[in-house]
Amino acid sequence: MIEEKIKARANGQCELCGSDENLSLYEVPSSPTSGVDSTILACSTCQSQLMGDSTPDTNHWRCLNDAIWSPVPAVQVVAWRMLNKLTGEPWAQDLLDMMYLDEPMQHWAAANQADESKAPTLDSNGVPLAAGDTVHLIKDLNVKGVSFTAKRGTAVRNIGLSDNPLHIEGRVNGTRIVIIAAYTKKA
């Protein structure tokens, strides 16, 4: 019954690109509801790229020019998420700039996106760092605002992560400082 309603709403076409081949239902992840309002009809090409089974084909996604104006919130959310994956493309950024989502839809669209898109904080060897780790400095660092140099080999215990994945926070000589993660080595 849900499938029939969605197919009727979509006129038997992919709600993202308009294709009428290899269609199936795609439930939008992190939806606040379930059923018709959180499911779209999508072709196999769109679905494989949405689920990460294949790399996004930027030319295929130019179809989002029409999808962002869909009256179906689930279609708008999927379009917003895909455009955010393609922000290196000027046309995708232009579409994002034109697009409007009200506050509840914006929260739905951004749900679980921060975790996926945030780059990990890495030390000098490319090892991921986590809050609470201990690192050692691999070079002498002049600390701005105070009159000391953090010496190479100094252990920085119980580090904190910042919003910027290139930086960590930690205490050196009793002073909390921001340290460039690439100048550290995980202990």
pLDDT in tens, 75-128: 999 999 999 888 778 999 999 999 999 999 999 998 866 544 467 899 999 999
**Residue 56 contacts residue 46 (beta carbons within 8 Å):** no
How far apart, in whole angstroms, are the C-alpha atoms of residue 1 and residue 16? 22
Q: What is the pLDDT of residue 146?
A: 83
Summarize the confidence of residues 23-42 as an average pLDDT: 91
Cα dist. 63→46, 50, 58, 95 in Å? 10, 14, 10, 11
pLDDT of the residue at 163: 77
Q: Which tokens sit at 181? A: 């993660």
**pLDDT in the model for residue 72:** 95
Which one has a higher pLDDT value, 63 or 147? 63
Q: What is the pLDDT of residues 123-174, one digit of tens each?
A: 999 999 988 899 999 999 998 878 889 999 999 999 988 878 899 999 998 8
DSSP string for residues in 148-164: -EE-TT-EE-S-EE-SS
> pLDDT at position 164, please?
85
Domain with CATH 2.30.30.40 in the chain: 135-186
Q: State how far the Cα of 183 lies from the Cα of 185, in Å rounded to an integer.
A: 7
> What are the tokens at 12?
């038997």
First to last CA, the chain: 57
- CATH code at 135-186: 2.30.30.40
| pLDDT of amino acid 150 | 92
Beta strands 155-156 and 149-150 are unpaired
Give the pLDDT confidence score for residue 118 in this predicted structure.
61
Q: What is the rounded CA–CA span in Å between residue 182 and residue 137?
A: 9
Report pLDDT for 113: 62
Give the number of residues written for the chain: 187
**Is the distance from CB of 166 to CB of 160 less than 8 angstroms?**
no
| pTM for the predicted model, two decimal places | 0.61
